[in-house]
Amino acid sequence: MDSLPCDLRIGTSGFDYPEWRGVLYPENLPREEFLPTYASTFSTVELNFSYYRIPREEQLEGMLERGGSRLDFSIKAHESLTHKVDPASWKEAVAEYRRSLRPLLRSGRLVAVLLQFPYSFHYDADRRKYLDSLLRELDGLPLVVEFRNGAWHTPRVLEALRERGVGFCATDMPDLKGLPQEGEAVTAPLAYLRFHGRNRETWWGSDAAARFDYLYTEEELRQWVPRIRRMSAQAARFRIYFNNHRKGQAAVNARMLIQLLNGSGG
């Protein structure tokens, strides 16, 4: 992908999946060897365990070492900042989360902090005010915002992100009422794109694993190639992650997209 006008890297959301043995990892590979093996194929990873628990500094230091100098990192914000916000304590959670990122910041290999908001994060005055406050508290970090509610996908919101230098996360997900439609907006020097799969039947169900159990076809990904090229022309860096993690499908599709971009002259 050297002919693209920016530093574009493709990877997966998460890497520590035992069911990826036989797909990305050898069958008997110990889990402590997953990240070095991942890094031999991909040059970027989006950490998502940080949504469920705030990382320990030594934990991230170990990942930096095992990943090798070539691998860079995006990391999802903790749920206390996006899904389970306590008005009385969220600022304390921000401070704890910021401290945990110090190893990634010192290494220079932190690409993005992803603030992924749920569908229930509606476009209203209170939530707009909270988002503004949160971005201020996290100022200085490379921020990207993903909205699962399509009401946020407006020119006004995009312009507000541009003014703050905050990245907008484009998404590929099912074509369902209320969800964001496919877009290619770039609001910061970093462009960002996440593939979630297109499972219409299971998206609103309680089984999150079934929601992301989807394998993109080559033709579905090929349709993204011209959009990716347009987005890359507006950014200095571009990170693309596949979140359809069941059965190693994210790794399969990430490699497929790399091949498609290389084959297109990108």
- What pLDDT band is residue 2 in, cutting at 50, 70 and 90? low
* Cα separation values, 84 from 2, 32, 121, 152, 206, Å: 41, 31, 11, 19, 17
- pTM value surpassing 0.75: yes
Quick: pLDDT tens for 63-100. 999 999 999 999 999 999 999 999 999 999 999 999 99
How does the average pLDDT of the chain come out, rounded? 95
DSSP assigned state of 25: B
Give strand pairing partners of 232: none
Residue extents of the structural domains in the chain: 7-263
Q: Which of 184, 177, 121 shows the shortest CA–CA distance to 158?
A: 184
Quick: pLDDT tens for 9-44. 999 999 999 999 999 999 999 999 999 999 999 999
Residue 156, classed as helix, strand or coil, is helix
Q: In terms of CATH, what superfamily is 7-263?
A: Protein of unknown function UPF0759 (3.20.20.410)
Handedness of CA 223, 229, 235, 237 (dihedral sign): positive
Distance CA 72, CA 47 (A): 10
pLDDT of residue 248: 96
- What pLDDT band is residue 205 in, cutting at 50, 70 and 90? confident
* Cα separation values, 245 from 67, 155, 195, 213, 214, Å: 19, 32, 10, 7, 8
